[in-house]
Amino acid sequence: MGTESDYCREIETYLCRKNDGHLIRVVGPSFDLVSGWAAQGVPLKVAFAGIDRYVERYYRKGPRRRPVKIDFCEADVLDVFDEWRRATGVAIVARGFQPSEASSLQPPASSLSLPSHLERVVLRLTSARAGGKLGAGTDEVIDRIAAELDAARSKAGGLRGAARQALIARLAALDVDLLRQARATLDAATRAALTKDAEAELAPFAASMPADALARARALAIDRLVRERFGLPTVSFV
């Protein structure tokens, strides 16, 4: 990730682009804030995604009246970082954080109900299919999964016990199918690039992770990047 100063400059440059060229300096308290992200191991692309999330929400409120400051993006950056850690299984290994402090930063379980999760997944699958980035084979898989999830939505709220667990297990299996099909559309160069990006994201944590945990985190990070590339949702319900 480089030095914390390099990290802050990258964030400053990205924020400048998001502000249509208007420079908002990352100095003083803002530098301390962003340095804290670097210390926690927040990957740059994850921080960028948090900034994007804030800016997109800001645009939805109407015409912008002032440039976005990095401080406004803090909650979204940390939310996306939590989502990234949940997706990869990475725990915080932060310079200057004690274990008791790190444990308090573990991401909470999803607050969505199962019916709401199914609704959001169907909408995102439909959007991904309309995006036109996926091959014909993946479109067919998306159509099949979306149809199955649509049927499940009508009864998900009333499922209990074994029936609910069976549906959750089925969602996990569908998620595996979707990712397998999406990965099959990638050429060798793209797979190599995604692997390199995943390893760069995990670099701050790699030295402290057992080999098997690092290998699993790498595979999960690649899966996340595949989802991001094609706009695919996580079908599994956790």
For residue 71, the SS3 value is helix
Give the pLDDT of residue 106: 39
pLDDT for residue 103: 33
Predicted confidence (pLDDT) per residue in 24-46, tens digit: 899 999 999 999 999 888 999 89
End-to-end CA distance of the chain: 30
138-148: pLDDT as tens digits: 777 888 888 88
Q: Where are the alpha helices (DSSP H) in the chain?
A: 4-18, 29-40, 44-60, 74-88, 99-103, 114-130, 136-156, 161-184, 188-206, 211-230
Has residue 61 got a pLDDT over 90?
Answer: no
Percent of residues, the chain, with pLDDT higher than 70? 86
d(CA 177, CA 10): 36
Residue 25: φ, ψ to 5°:
-75, 140
Place of tokens 């989802």: 227
Q: Is the pLDDT of residue 88 over 70?
A: yes
* Res. 98: pLDDT tops 60: no
The sign of the CA dihedral 164, 170, 172, 175 is negative
Q: Tens digit of pLDDT for each residue in 101-132? A: 333 333 344 556 888 888 888 888 888 888 77
Amino acid at position 171, single letter: L
Q: What is the pLDDT of residues 174-231, one digit of tens each?
A: 999 999 988 988 999 999 999 999 999 898 888 888 898 899 999 989 998 998 888 8
- Contact (CB, 8 A) for 33 and 73: no
